Structure 1
């Protein structure tokens, strides 16, 4: 394991200080810039997570209450009042999205 160099401590005007070489100072500044960039990325990711959580909550709210005629039974066609296959497919998609959200919420808990 590499040993970290210990800074040289000096006293200037009665106050303790640390003396760095130019190279050490440049490395310190480069590290600070990297950390600053990383914290900005973390902040943006945190905002994206919050927006995504809100989107999922809104989506869950939209599909949480099934139409009265929707049976939500595995393998059953949704009877959401539609008269065409496209209407039935939309109902089944609602059930599939609702089930996906429930699985995601249950696995996240």
Structure 2
């Protein structure tokens, strides 16, 4: 059986997802990297994807760590519904995160 690589917490606002992620981080003696969804989007095409790579590189360099994506729902709609945001930039960012 392989070790756990990730967990996705989903739920309404103010239900303790951030506190739970921080508690897990403290219990595992890991680093905590908090990323706000809107800070991933950049002005220039493909810069947003590069920004995602930067955060994952930072996470690998500081392993073990917990990457906490906060307010991701602000940039992720149903895939393909992101009209008017520079050619679906938020779709590209979400794809990079999932990859």
Question: What band does the TM-score fall into relative to the shorter chain?
Answer: under 0.3
| TM-score, reference length from structure 2 | 0.24
Greater relative contact order structure (CA < 8 Å, 6+ sep): 2
Q: Which has the higher helix share?
A: 1
Structure (1 or 2) with the larger CA radius of gyration = 1
